[in-house]
Chain A
């Protein structure tokens, strides 16, 4: 989960990383009040959890206080990368004589923690990394033995710094490292880390991503932002992973790989998936019932293919949830269930008794073909009866 810039900077400040003076505002009035305490020249920064904010016009430099209200108002009307601007950070406007990049992150390719550092930071860091990789320095960090101060100093010296500035950078690097481990960050990035005309070094931006899996033992400021999609939000409550897609066939899988393979095979047959839903290893009757209900709330869904394996999951209990959904729902969409593994016979029996189509083949494409056939025959019938589709939309809406 990504933190907003101001949340990242609060965290930086707590760990002794120098940040500009600033305040969060939730409306133009508050922005004006905040600016009054900061001086004539301020920066207004939209707080959204996506990159490319500056290029989208989400950062405004204010040199005359009388411009501020209108500019703030304009920012609050913006929508950046699908996120409405609900907060802006009002900060003192600082000019940098040099912009540096400093970041700690987990390299998923190698499974190592890497400390990245470039004396040529700023908005074009990605271009620098691509065209002049020799300007980006890497230090592999062993989580069981993080580098001591002297090792960091020698690492940062490669950027061409010396004396006071090098010492300041070393201190900042050590604190970033401390924060990274203490709060179990996935990403802790400062870009730019600015050297000011008076030789102060300040973090002008903060990109912090925290590990959802560590939230049980880490405290962060409570509200980050809400999921954009209501169904995805509901999925989190049910305990499944749901990603909304644009097609018409609902997909439920008892594993991520299986659900993705099912989606791939639907596409191959020319049918786009309406969603990705993975149950994880905690299937119960209720979870299955809720998952199916969630998938069918999307009015695009014309049928659902369910692909399950009984390994850690009790598929015989999942079957009961499916049957309950079919019983309780007025004209449910066609549903096909492929289920194999431990207690598969018990699972099939429950489903068949409940009138649900069961595929016992090991081939996922057989389940995909079966749901496509059912959807098409339903469509034909619907056309003959004059609008069964419409009826279904009504009760799922």
Chain B
């Protein structure tokens, strides 16, 4: 098994006719992902990378039983695209773009919560269940099927973590990118709960960053978990008060520091690594 993205997943690509949407669709198909259609308003009837394109998500759901979506819609338009997908009954929504207005994120998140939808992102690399498929922009060659779950706030670091796991002979059940924005669609703790319940996953790695309190909140659940949790938090050397690229990576008034996160995680029984390669080694040791 895997979490959220499995053999039942039938995904549409919203924004498939765009430059990035079309290139990434090719990569996702090459990886073996079950994509059933694309959606771009005004482009219904066309084909991209062999997939039929529809004008709306409703049509893709009706004709192909789509139950997931990955969005390459430009940030200014993504709110309505996500709300449409949720309204059409899609239960897994992967919102890739960065620079989405915060008020749009708040509305998307509110709608997702009311409809029990998994919203990943925005500003996420997406989700990959190696050997099954990927909805996102991660390079497939870094990942390998296995028993470690990864939850990451950073795209690039999740690739690095997967590559480091491969070096010690471990693969992933699923890697979930929650997104790098200050407000994201799904809470880290909820994904942790999925991994705890997943029979294939034997250990979980959290790749965190400075800012916010997702790691602290996750710690409360880690205390109750049976599976080992290893964490790495980036940004020890980041200056306070400055936004470090990811809008979410900012330390304010002593909250969201690496120290506060490490303290919370260690207190809950997680192993905290000093660098990503240590996290891979620690995971190897506890399996």
A positions within 8 Å CB-CB of B? 106, 108-109, 111, 113, 142-144, 181, 184, 186, 211, 213-214, 216-217, 241, 243, 245, 253-261, 263-268, 272-273, 276, 278, 280-281, 307, 309-312, 340-342, 344, 362-365
Contact A311 B275, beta carbon cutoff 8 Å: no
Q: How far is the CB of B70 from chain A (nearest CB, A)?
A: 12
Q: How far is the CB of B267 from chain A (nearest CB, A)?
A: 18
A311 and B137 in contact, given A213-B75, A261-B276 (Cβ under 8 angstroms): yes
Contact B236 A267, beta carbon cutoff 8 Å: yes
Contact A341 B159, beta carbon cutoff 8 Å: yes
Partner among A111, A184, A245, A264 whose Cβ is within 8 Å of the Cβ of B103: A184
Give 23 CB contacts A-B under 8 Å: A111-B106, A143-B110, A181-B103, A243-B239, A243-B242, A256-B209, A256-B249, A257-B207, A257-B234, A260-B235, A261-B234, A264-B234, A265-B275, A266-B237, A267-B236, A273-B237, A280-B245, A310-B139, A312-B24, A312-B125, A342-B141, A362-B160, A362-B163
Contacts of A307 in B (CB 8 A): 156
Contacts of A311 in B (CB 8 A): 125, 136-139, 155-156, 159
Contact B163 A211, beta carbon cutoff 8 Å: no
Contact A260 B234, beta carbon cutoff 8 Å: yes
Contact B238 A260, beta carbon cutoff 8 Å: yes
Q: How far is the CB of A162 from chain B (nearest CB, A)?
A: 33
The docked-state distance in angstroms from the alpha carbon of A265 to that of B232 is 13
Contacts of A362 in B (CB 8 A): 142, 160, 163-164, 166-167
Contact A245 B137, beta carbon cutoff 8 Å: no
Q: How far is the CB of A313 from chain B (nearest CB, A)?
A: 9
The docked-state distance in angstroms from the alpha carbon of A280 to that of B99 is 10
Known contacts A260-B244, A260-B245, A362-B163; 15 additional CB pairs below 8 A are A106-B183, A111-B183, A143-B103, A186-B102, A213-B75, A213-B99, A217-B76, A243-B239, A254-B156, A255-B155, A256-B209, A257-B246, A261-B275, A309-B142, A365-B277
A111 and B156 in contact, given A264-B235, A267-B237, A341-B139 (Cβ under 8 angstroms): no
Closest CB pairs A-B (n = 7): A257-B154, A255-B156, A256-B245, A341-B139, A278-B245, A362-B163, A258-B156
Contact B101 A260, beta carbon cutoff 8 Å: no
Q: Confirm or deny: B157 has a beta carbon within 8 angstroms of a beta carbon on chain A.
A: yes
Contacts of A214 in B (CB 8 A): 101-103
Contact B244 A106, beta carbon cutoff 8 Å: no
Q: Confirm or deny: B274 has a beta carbon within 8 angstroms of a beta carbon on chain A.
A: yes
Q: How far is the CB of A128 from chain B (nearest CB, A)?
A: 15
Partner among A273, A278, A280, A309 whose Cβ is within 8 Å of the Cβ of B160: A309
The docked-state distance in angstroms from the alpha carbon of A264 to that of B217 is 24
The docked-state distance in angstroms from the alpha carbon of A369 to that of B246 is 26
B 107-130 to A, binary, CB cutoff 8 A, 1 in contact else 0: 101110010000000000100000
Partner among A108, A144, A257, A276 whose Cβ is within 8 Å of the Cβ of B156: A257
B100's closest neighbor in chain A, by CB? A213
Partner among B107, B137, B157, B184 whose Cβ is within 8 Å of the Cβ of A312: B137
The docked-state distance in angstroms from the alpha carbon of A214 to that of B153 is 22
Contact B213 A109, beta carbon cutoff 8 Å: yes
Contact A363 B164, beta carbon cutoff 8 Å: yes
Q: How far is the CB of A353 from chain B (nearest CB, A)?
A: 22
The docked-state distance in angstroms from the alpha carbon of A111 to that of B106 is 7
The docked-state distance in angstroms from the alpha carbon of A281 to that of B24 is 13
| A contact patch SS | mixed
Contact B101 A258, beta carbon cutoff 8 Å: no
Q: Confirm or deny: B98 has a beta carbon within 8 angstroms of a beta carbon on chain A.
A: yes
B166's closest neighbor in chain A, by CB? A362
Contacts of A184 in B (CB 8 A): 101-103
Q: Confirm or deny: B20 has a beta carbon within 8 angstroms of a beta carbon on chain A.
A: yes
Q: Confirm or deny: B211 has a beta carbon within 8 angstroms of a beta carbon on chain A.
A: yes
Q: Confirm or deny: B146 has a beta carbon within 8 angstroms of a beta carbon on chain A.
A: no
Contact A363 B156, beta carbon cutoff 8 Å: no
B253's closest neighbor in chain A, by CB? A126
Contacts of A273 in B (CB 8 A): 237
B136's closest neighbor in chain A, by CB? A311
The docked-state distance in angstroms from the alpha carbon of A258 to that of B237 is 13
Partner among B103, B142, B212 whose Cβ is within 8 Å of the Cβ of A340: B142
The docked-state distance in angstroms from the alpha carbon of A108 to that of B153 is 14
Contact B102 A257, beta carbon cutoff 8 Å: no
The docked-state distance in angstroms from the alpha carbon of A272 to that of B236 is 12
Partner among B27, B137, B163, B207 whose Cβ is within 8 Å of the Cβ of A281: B137
Within B180-230, which residues are at the interface with A (CB < 8 Å)? 180, 182-184, 207, 209-213, 217
Contact A259 B245, beta carbon cutoff 8 Å: yes
Q: Confirm or deny: B248 has a beta carbon within 8 angstroms of a beta carbon on chain A.
A: yes
Contact B155 A257, beta carbon cutoff 8 Å: yes
